[in-house]
Amino acid sequence: MLQILAATSNKHKVEEFRAAFAPLLSRMEILTADDIHGYPEIRETGTSFEENADIKAREASAYADMPAFADDSGLEVAVLNGAPGIFSARYAGDHAGDAERIQKLLAEMKGKTNRRARFVCVIALAYRGTSVKTFRGEVNGTIIDEPRGTHGFGYDPVFVPDGYDKTFGELGPEVKDKISHRAKALEKIVAFIKEELDSMDDFEFE
């Protein structure tokens, strides 16, 4: 059976990945960074979501000697010229938490009338240390003035997706997991891998 490595040990992400790949799990197995002995710390030195996801996927596939995928995601705010972008996780410093990142974002946006923003997720697939493909998902919305809701993580409590009047923090996983940037990128990679499985007896990216 095909083994593919999800290059993360973030339990929240692993759950989402497993759920998205559920229809294929009779034909493939997902391992995570925790299953790979001595899994290395991989530094995100790229300048875009694509580059960072690709770096993580290539290094993981080379180290574990199996196909690997990795994601990189973040929030882009129009009036901040795309910030925090690829620096979303470190926006308020390395040791800050979600609440501090949200406070910094709201402070930067104070008095700004343009509240447009989007979440971006890029998933990269690699094999033998070489890029295979990247898959991008986006969800557009607006940033509100004060956090609302307790679901999710990161900037969810201040992000209202287009077509809704509640934040991701209020909407919860039933809605978020259908319309989010990560859900859309996952849909694309799952379709790609399904095609590969369908068209090959022996799964190989060569």
Which are the catalytic amino acids?
72
Name the residue with the smallest CB distance to ligand IMP.
154
Smallest gap from residue 52 Cβ to ligand IMP (A): 7
Q: CA 7, 8, 9, 14: dihedral to nearest 10 degrees?
A: -100
What is the C-alpha separation between 49 and 156, in angstroms, rounded?
19
Q: Which residue, 86 or 190, has its beta carbon nearer to ligand IMP?
A: 86
Smallest gap from residue 117 Cβ to ligand IMP (A): 11
What is the C-alpha separation between 63 and 40, in angstroms, rounded?
8
Smallest gap from residue 5 Cβ to ligand IMP (A): 16
* Residues forming the site for ligand IMP (CB under 6 A): 71-75, 88-89, 101, 119, 152-156, 180, 182
Q: Which residue, 58 or 101, has its beta carbon nearer to ligand IMP?
A: 101
Q: Which residue, 50 or 156, has its beta carbon nearer to ligand IMP?
A: 156
Cis peptide before 67 (omega within 30 of 0): no
What is the C-alpha separation between 132 and 5, in angstroms, rounded?
14
**β-strands 2-6, 28-32: how paired?**
parallel
Q: Which residue, 178 or 195, has its beta carbon nearer to ligand IMP?
A: 178
In the β-sheet with 130-143, what is the strand arrangement from edge to edge? 28-32, 2-6, 68-77, 116-127, 130-143, 159-161
Smallest gap from residue 200 Cβ to ligand IMP (A): 30
